[in-house]
Structure 1
């Protein structure tokens, strides 16, 4: 009898944990629907001519704006996490963040030209910064007291919702843009965010008690300092914008520098802290090259919103008979391929057990795969010459590049949470977010480089860089893995 009890109890617990987080999962699904729905059509809105409903800003300016926007979204999440920890309760930070995001999408839909673009993107950056990290914290509160296995199961449902939203968003807004115009796509993104707010509103009273309190309140005598820093930062940004120092073409450079400075600050705090042991410092030091290479990897991956969008606009044949294939659907293939391949790779890791590649080798595989994807793009771009590129060939590139994320994204998150110092876990999670910020802004710089170079030369540079970096990481995997697990039992 005792041998059968655990097997009977486990399924009940498996069902209980996901039910507790369904409300957050659906809220996040709709938020990601709106975010990626906008991301899927934004670059084309900037690139397309006025006659096609776009802003016709040109490749360099478009790449700069898209890269800076993506990077700023992730940088803002660091500030949002701090606000939800020190100033306001997470559940209300999420609520107000959702309201601000909705207003941003409505501004894009209702206001035309650069005014709507500027107001809309700034509001979405601020709102997403407030919402993203804090809703993840709330999920963590809901799963407090459960075993690691149950927590993993709960977060799996949560991230499944993220992936569904990331695929459904651009498919929906891309269709709306293709059929009726860009502003209808923006309206649909706003509807998605409104659905997230409604879902979240119904669950407010059911959230854990910790979600309704400030868990690490800032002393009242220290509140004026961050307010002063905020006012000063806004003033500097306003002066630089009005004086012409901040232009569309250099926005990605500014955000890239900001991401690197923030990362340097995080590493400095961790490595100089008296609360961090020697083994922990060794692990964090070994994480530094992986952090940088992860940022480079995401820079290559996020080119689906910059360089690849330019290529699609200029050279890809989207006509299928009398119907035009939505541009945004091409970029949606990338996350869709990652969603579909994840269970297969997870099953492979399960079968290999202790024989599966260690984290550094997985990072290397991701870089090598995306490098080979760009070599493939180089081949088809060269073979077609100045002619249009068949749609199917570009879709295959998106599959090759997008599916490589399974070796980098989730592995980096798991690694950061595992090797981080016991007393500074939040800082390590912050560093993981910064790889996405760095990658997003870097993709803008790469898009501008693509606009300035012949396609063949550009694809050769990107492909060669990815393969060389992946190969070097593969050669250095053993000493890096030893340092990453200093004081820990490697898994």
Structure 2
């Protein structure tokens, strides 16, 4: 008698799936949003710098650096406001949707409305929309992974951030090609198409989002709406008055955004360190994080010069001609995030093999600063040897790879540190603080770009390279007491 073996039971779809299906929808939404964001950023500097006959606005080096630096800083500052709106006023699900619509409108205006006015209105809309979308879509990813194992949460966020990196690479590659072949406004139009794809992708997934995504987590009572509305109107009035009076100019925008970022950071630190809900060990950890916060802001200021000082250098001195074909200028800046993506698995494997013997957070920050300092010593050597002549393209690409790959020692380390050492009652604020390093770095890159335009390039690169190396060396010397304080009351593992 033949016994038929029982048929194997199929696992439920959600049980066999590494991550929930909705994660992929959010990942592709983010991919297209980053495609449009970095696609614009890859060509924005050159749109401001290029002469009118090349399709640019010819605003000059100082004004261009100021606008690009202020734009980048304002995008990250706006995300703090967007997070507050998604937590207190409107559910994250709808904040993300309307944020995407506002971003798309900004890109369409940039594509269809030539000149400084179209530029200004378009960038403001993109700043506001990105502020609404970015933090809230990340929150939704967290909601989708609620109740999952740590392994599945890590896998879900890994796919999500992989989408960010993919968008950051293919965006400038695509818009850079379009700009190179047909002009800047075709590049802007391609970024707009990418954002429309993000909206469609997200809209199709709205009904599948968890119930929590449609709820306001900590609703603000109606009686308390007056204060935030009043503050918003007052801020708008100050901006309008400053613009009409001539106090806000393209040249000083980066200074203003840098000041706002520093004031916001000081407010965060003050609230946390003065709170009675924070223990002495927690305050010790936050105090130790302060120098790393400042040095991280300086590091990103050096890194983001690819959009300011280095863009000016490329415009003035780099030969883009390869056998009669012009190398798309936006492709140069793409080398930086691409090198970071490629080196990340290698460095992650190294940390895994070293285990408890791996460097602490302060030492990793120091390595990042020293490496980017070496990159600027390299470009200093190139600039010195070539004098006022043309710089070969492959040397700029080598610089971008060396500088970009240093981010693996600072960016992800700062985020992981903020989530680990933050006080229990202020964990979200610590993540917000870490976000401010990007705002500070973006606006600082604008100031550095203006300095580059004002002094000889060899003197400038000497200052930047030496500053990075000295700061990295000093942090390396102070790593032991800093790491000890960073782990006060928590495990160092």
| Coarse TM-score class (shorter-chain normalised) | over 0.9
Q: CA deviation at 1:287?
A: 0.3
Q: Which residue is equivalent to 1:426?
A: 428
Match of 1:111 among 97, 110, 113: 113
Q: Unaligned 5+ residue runs, structure 1?
A: 1-7
Q: CA deviation at 1:151?
A: 1.4
Q: Which residue is equivalent to 1:258?
A: 260
Mean alpha-carbon deviation: is it higher for 277-286 or for 11-20? Answer: 11-20
Q: CA deviation at 1:124?
A: 0.1
Match of 1:135 among 113, 134, 137: 137
Q: Which residue is equivalent to 1:341?
A: 343
Q: CA deviation at 1:12?
A: 8.2
* 1:287 is the counterpart of 2:256: no
The C-alpha deviation readout for 1:273-312, integer Å capped at 9, x for no partner, is 1111111111000000000000000000000000000000
The C-alpha deviation readout for 1:132-152, integer Å capped at 9, x for no partner, is 000000001111112223211
Q: Which residue is equivalent to 1:217?
A: 219
* 1:448 is the counterpart of 2:441: no
Distance 2:20 2:443 in 1: 35
Q: Which residue is equivalent to 2:390?
A: 388
* 1:203 is the counterpart of 2:205: yes
Distance 1:356 1:190 in 2: 43
Distance 2:425 2:144 in 1: 21
Distance 1:450 1:470 in 2: 22
Match of 1:355 among 354, 357, 370: 357
Contact 1:170–1:328, Cα closer than 8 Å, also in 2: yes
Q: Which residue is equivalent to 2:170?
A: 168
Q: Which residue is equivalent to 1:315?
A: 317
Match of 2:67 among 65, 90, 93: 65
Name the SS for the 2:219 alignment partner: coil
Name the SS for the 1:17 alignment partner: coil
* 1:481 is the counterpart of 2:483: yes
Distance 1:35 1:437, change over 3 A: same
Distance 1:131 1:88 in 2: 12
Q: Which residue is equivalent to 1:5?
A: none
Q: Which residue is equivalent to 1:4?
A: none
Distance 1:210 1:15 in 2: 22
Q: CA deviation at 1:386?
A: 1.3
Q: Which residue is equivalent to 2:440?
A: 438
What is the RMSD computed on CA atoms of the aligned residues?
1.3
Q: Which residue is equivalent to 2:57?
A: 55
Q: Which residue is equivalent to 2:413?
A: 411
Distance 1:15 1:409 in 2: 30
Q: Which residue is equivalent to 2:229?
A: 227
The C-alpha deviation readout for 1:234-255, integer Å capped at 9, x for no partner, is 0110000111000000000000
Q: CA deviation at 1:423?
A: 1.0
Distance 2:388 2:396 in 1: 15
Name the SS for the 1:215 alignment partner: coil
Q: Which residue is equivalent to 2:463?
A: 461
Q: CA deviation at 1:181?
A: 0.1
Q: CA deviation at 1:18?
A: 5.3
Distance 1:371 1:419 in 2: 28
Distance 1:35 1:255 in 2: 19
Q: Which residue is equivalent to 1:125?
A: 127
| TM-score between both structures, scaled by the size of structure 2 | 0.97
Contact 1:62–1:248, Cα closer than 8 Å, also in 2: yes
Q: Which residue is equivalent to 2:7?
A: none
Contact 2:69–2:443, Cα closer than 8 Å, also in 1: yes
Mean alpha-carbon deviation: is it higher for 267-276 or for 249-258? Answer: 267-276
Distance 1:394 1:442 in 2: 22
Name the SS for the 2:205 alignment partner: helix
Q: Unaligned 5+ residue runs, structure 2?
A: 1-9
Distance 1:140 1:421 in 2: 20
Contact 2:22–2:208, Cα closer than 8 Å, also in 1: no
Distance 1:93 1:397, change over 3 A: same
Distance 2:62 2:320 in 1: 23
Contact 1:14–1:150, Cα closer than 8 Å, also in 2: no
Q: Which residue is equivalent to 1:147?
A: 149
Q: Which residue is equivalent to 2:38?
A: 36
Q: CA deviation at 1:20?
A: 3.5
Distance 2:268 2:309 in 1: 30
Distance 1:276 1:146 in 2: 29
The C-alpha deviation readout for 1:416-451, integer Å capped at 9, x for no partner, is 011001111111011011000000000000000000
User: Following superposition, which runs of at least 4 residues in structure 1 exceed 4 angstroms of deviation?
Assistant: 11-14
Name the SS for the 2:415 alignment partner: helix
Mean alpha-carbon deviation: is it higher for 271-280 or for 390-399? Answer: 271-280
Contact 2:87–2:218, Cα closer than 8 Å, also in 1: yes
Q: CA deviation at 1:13?
A: 5.7
The C-alpha deviation readout for 1:38-82, integer Å capped at 9, x for no partner, is 000000000000000000000000000000000000000000000
Contact 2:14–2:20, Cα closer than 8 Å, also in 1: no
| TM-score between both structures, scaled by the size of structure 1 | 0.97
